[in-house]
Chains A and B, each alone.
Chain A
């Protein structure tokens, strides 16, 4: 760079041009870094959105009479309304294969799957929900659906101060065959019914006619941090 400058120092215009270019580049870079840092903590009060950070984990699954399959794994997905934007964190996830066969049959099967997401939105409508599909795997390697569970991520200040823990439970629902013929066919072909799109469970208009059986529950521990909601006038505790 210094060679270039020295070479063109004779022509007055060019040298000033190059000198202007160099100092301009540096402040631009610094400005960009500062901007990223600013968005996180110091954004101005004129923002019309609030952001929601959820941290926590899917703790365990409990089946009162033991799971039907040896190994159990979960697939989770975060679904939110149209106003919501996922700012950071994975939207899907797959846990490890866990089992409780070395302990008592109704001990909780521990996953400890971390969930850390941040959402940004302009309105609480379409509050994000966590949809978990529970799959089981027998020793032969066949993976079978064991059920679905879904909860809303904790709404602002949802746990009152008197509640000791942040643990929430959701029951696991397994779809059943709609009629007897389907029952017989599924038994013959060893194919359990599975929902094509589990998001149907999150929509109250589309569940008509589905038949489900509930067995077992999932435990979650989730904490919420939100920012900017009070400025927009939302009141979430008395």
Chain B
């Protein structure tokens, strides 16, 4: 069984409108992949920066997966949530990125989107009432199947630094460009 190690950090979130953000991340992979060691979910602390409008998370990722097939290559799903003074949180960005397919160091930038408010009442609620709409089924994030009819807006970016180590892929004849 070939093995993949993902070691890195979710560094920061930039270009979001709200200052206090936290990020929940998941590593999703197909049925042929098994988790050997590590956590595939995580939630970072709430972070803001004194000067710039970015949020530094520095959330460490250390995952060891074994794979029996190349289908279902793992993806990193990211949901950025904003927190207000009353400790209410709402999602302000959904995004995902496939883990790069070559070993080595990569800086992955995940662009995110959020659900757009539908009318003026929802816009006001988004600004003052504790947040806009959120997705009820989060598997929309990585499947392209039922996205029609959803109105979204672009949101900021999440930057992650990933180092990948592959093992035994050549034994099975898999090559990477």
Interface residues of A (CB under 8 A from B): 64-65, 81, 123-127, 129, 149-152, 155-160, 170-171, 173, 201-205, 207-215, 232-238
Contact = CB atoms under 8 A, between A and B. Distances in A.
A152 B60 contact: yes
B105 A155 contact: yes
A191 B148 CA distance: 53
Interface residues of B, number: 45
B50 interface: yes
Contacts of B61: 204
A204 to B, nearest CB: 3
Contacts, number: 128
A215 B44 contact: no
Contact of B105 (A65, A81, A159, A209): A159
28 contacts: A124-B165, A127-B7, A150-B60, A155-B105, A155-B163, A157-B105, A158-B105, A158-B163, A173-B56, A201-B45, A204-B39, A204-B41, A205-B42, A207-B43, A207-B44, A207-B45, A207-B59, A210-B46, A211-B20, A212-B46, A212-B47, A212-B56, A215-B51, A233-B171, A236-B104, A236-B164, A236-B165, A236-B166
A14 B177 CA distance: 74
Contacts of A204: 25, 39, 41-44, 59-61
Interface in B25-66: 25, 36-39, 41-51, 55-56, 58-62, 64
Nearest to A238: B102
* Interface residue SS majority, chain B: strand
Given A123-B64, A235-B167, A236-B165, A213 B103 contact: no
Nearest to B176: A238
A65 B39 CA distance: 37
Interface of B: 5, 7-9, 12, 20, 25, 36-39, 41-51, 55-56, 58-62, 64, 102-105, 163-171, 176-177
Contacts of B55: 214
Contacts of A152: 7-9, 60, 163
B101 to A, nearest CB: 9
A211 B50 contact: no
A159 B104 CA distance: 8
A81 B104 contact: no
Closest 4 CB pairs of A and B: A204-B42, A210-B45, A155-B163, A214-B56
A209 B62 CA distance: 21
Contact of A124 (B7, B45, B48, B171): B7
B103 A211 contact: no
A171 B12 contact: yes
Contacts of B64: 123-125
Contacts of B42: 204-205, 207
A127 B61 CA distance: 10
A123 B166 CA distance: 12
B73 to A, nearest CB: 16
A213 B50 contact: yes
A115 to B, nearest CB: 18
A170 B166 contact: no
A87 B169 CA distance: 30
Given A125-B62, A171-B12, A235 B46 contact: no
A6 B106 CA distance: 75
B159 to A, nearest CB: 12
Nearest to A83: B37
Contacts of B62: 81, 125-127
Given A155-B7, A156-B165, A234-B166, A171 B104 contact: no
| Residue of B12, B38, B41, B60 ringed by the most chain A CB atoms within 10 A | B60
B108 to A, nearest CB: 14
